[in-house]
Each structure stands twice: as C-alpha cells, then as structure tokens.
Structure 1
Amino acid sequence: MSYFNFQIFLISFGIIFLAELGDKTQLMVITLAAKEKSSFKIGLATSIGISLVVIIGIIIGFFLNLFIPNFWIKLAGIIIFLIFGIYTLIMVKKNDENLDEKQENDELISKKSRFNISNTFLFALSSIFIMEFGDKTQLMTISLTANYSLPIEVGLGAILALSSLCFLGAYLGELISKKVKKRWIDIAGGTLFIIVGIIMVFEMIFTL
C-alpha cells in the first residue's frame, strides 16, 4: 500500500515557490490584476493556466522515467538545477547593481494593457500558459517527476506553490490599481508587453 509522500510534496512546493517568487510570471499577474481590479478573477485564471503547464510537465516527466535510464535523468536534473541556481544568483547580483525598487515597481505595473481584451479571464489564463510553457517551472516539474517518480506529490506541490503566488500577485495588483492612475498602468502595461514579446522571440530563436 502506497502513501502520500509529504517530503517530496514539500520539496516540490519549496523549490517551485522560491524559483517563481518575483519572477516574470508573478509580475504578469500583478499587472493583470492592476488593470482589471479583480484579484480573485485574475488569481483563479492564472492559477488554472499555470496548473495546465504543470500537468503537462508531470506527464512528460513520468514518461521520461519509463523510457530513459534513471542515471541520465538524474544527471539532467542536476544540470538543470545548477544552471537555474547560478542564473538566479547572477540575476540577484545584477538587480542589486542596476535596479532600485522604483524601477522594479514600474515593471510590475507594466504587462497587460497592450491588448484590450473583453474576456479578461481567458486572456489571463492563456497569457500565463504561453509564458510558462517550456519555461523553467515546467522544466523543473519534469525533472522532479522524472527523478522521484511521484507525479501526484510533485504536481500538487508545484500547483499549490504557483497558485499561492498567483493569488498573492493578484492581490498586490489590486492594491496597486487603487494607488496608481489607470493611464500610467496602461502605459506601463503596454511597454512591458512589448518587452516580454521580444524576450519570447529570442527564447524561441535560441531553442531552435
């Protein structure tokens, strides 16, 4: 009889939560909520979108474990986590040198308003799905699932971590909308959408 492995659940939750805290996904959620002024709607939509990405990652990781020797899976997992760890530390240093809090807050406000979509719920869901598909969150989920062969624990940990960040970001976005004029939110949102679009183009080119 198998039991739920809380240790793996907590490992998955902790790794994913820390990896995504303050990342571009959470900044997107904050901006969407600032534009829409509805923290629950945006929190729910983005949680669903990112959960779909996690589930796809779980499926990929599970099948990798069936067809690829465990040694290579573990080696790939080590490389992935080392790369993300080094990258995170480099970005922390760079942010300390080049960014002050005001600049970061300007970026937080700047993601949604480039497109005036009537159905904000679907827009938020699809935006997060597109941003996170193939991103480090999904790669980490694939690696954790392949290494531990516990898709339920890994999946629930990842989904709970990401949903918590989505609702936290949505709440912060709603607070921002009460303090910042809509005009500035729109200007900042359009700017950041363009930046994110350019980043995604380069990411696509480098993965070819």
Structure 2
Amino acid sequence: MTPAKETWASFHAFVASISVIIVSELGDKTFFIAAIMAMRYNRLTVLAGAMLALGLMTCLSGFTRITCPPALFAIFGVRMLREGLRMSPDEGQEELEEVQAEIKKKDEELQRSKLANGTPDVEAGTTVPQGKWHSFISPIFIQALTLTFLAEWGDRSQLTTIILAAREDPFGVAVGGTLGHCLCTGLAVIGGRMIAQKISVRTVTIIGGIVFLAFAFSALFIKPEAGF
C-alpha cells in the first residue's frame, strides 16, 4: 500500500471509530458514571480514572483481530434500530438511577474504609495530603477506573471497536475511539447530571443504528485502502 493510501486508510478508520463511539457512548452507563461521580468528587481525578479505563479498553479492542464480514455491521445496526424504536423517551432515567445506586454503594464502602483507617478527605479525591500525584491514585481514581472498565467490558462501544478493527486500520480505530471517549467523558464531567438528563438515549440509539447500516453499505462497496 502506498503512503497516500495508508494515510487515507488511517483517516477513514479514525472517522469511522470516533463517529460510532460518540453515538454509542452518549447516554451510556459509562457516561452516567462520569457525570455522577464528577458531581461528588474532584472532576480531574474522575476524568483521569475514567479515561485511563476507556483508553485501555479501546486499545485492547482496537488491536483485537477477528474475521468480521460486512453483515455484522448490518446486524448490529438493525439491532440498535429495533432497540431505539422500542425505547420510551425517558429510557435513560432507569440507567441513571441504576448508576446512582451503584455509586452510592461504593460511597458507603469508601466511608466505612475511611472511618476504619482514619484516612482524610476521601470525598475530595485525596487520601494522603503530601504531593499532588497522590490525588491520581486515590480511592476516587480507582473507583472511577474500575467502575468504568467493568461497565465498558462487553458494552456496545467495545463491540463496535472490535468490529471496526476487523476491517479498518487498527491504529486509526484506536486513536479515533480514544478521542471519541475523551469527548463524551469530558462532556459528562463538565456538564454533569444536567446533560445526562437531557440526552435522549432513544434518539442516540436510533442514530447509532443508522450509522452502522451506513458502515454495512460502505463495507460492501468501498474498501478503505482504495483511497479516493
């Protein structure tokens, strides 16, 4: 493949990856986790933990090589469309409440640990007052990392990344996916619950199904290495 075609293949993979991640992650469980935790704790600590988890997951998925026929894009798209059309307009509220309960449970565990060990200022995202770097290895950082990683494992966006990496440039998929996650998580951390409550999970899911059907069409008739 010529340098020009390699560049086009990477760019094609980047655009495809960032597009599907955005429509997959907005209003997803990992989005709600970041939004709710950012209201309770240090935003930078929450963002760092969530992004480390999402970056690791995206890279693992982006470089997972499987045989993926174009039909899988269509199947995934049809499935998302069916889910979206069957959803009620306030579908996202149930997942939001589930995340709130899960984080509340983790909060109680942290408070019990704080009382048992006498560690200061858990809610501020720090456990040891010396050194700025301690805030990035605090219980809040670990909580954001583990909750996000577990929520992302086997999630829609992980599957989409693996599917895309099956036919696109894996480097472009990994970079686009990581940037897409960064945009969504940053929006969740900055906007918090207000944005989470205004996002229509139903609309985003339907758009995601349309995007996947478009990629199914592209996979049948356009090869990414073909260039312009």
TM-score when normalising by structure 1: 0.67
Aligned to 2:97: 107
Deviations 1:153-193 (A, max 9, x none): 111111111111111111223889xxxxxxxxxxxxxxxxx
SS of the residue 1:22 aligns to: coil
> Counterparts of 2:174 and 2:85 in 1: how far apart (Å)?
26
Checking the alignment, whether the CA contact within 8 Å between 2:29 and 2:96 is kept in structure 1 is no
Checking the alignment, whether the CA contact within 8 Å between 1:21 and 1:165 is kept in structure 2 is yes
Aligned to 1:9: 14
Within 5 Å, which residues of 2 pair with 1:195-206?
none
Bigger proportion of residues as helix = 1
Deviations 1:126-145 (A, max 9, x none): 11001111111110000011
Cα pair distance change 1:144/1:107, threshold 3 Å: same
Structure whose CA Rg is larger? 2
Q: What percent identity do the matched residue pairs reach?
A: 24
Within 5 Å, which residues of 2 pair with 1:1-208?
1=3, 2-3=6-7, 5-36=10-41, 38-60=42-64, 63-64=65-66, 68=67, 73-91=69-87, 94=88, 96=89, 99=90, 107=97, 110=100, 111-116=102-107, 117=110, 118=122, 119-148=139-168, 150-173=169-192
SS of the residue 2:163 aligns to: helix
Amino acid at match of 2:181: L
Distance apart, 1:6 and its partner CA = 2.2
> Counterparts of 1:79 and 1:174 in 2: how far apart (Å)?
32
Unaligned runs of 5+ in 1: 177-208
> Counterparts of 1:9 and 1:24 in 2: how far apart (Å)?
23
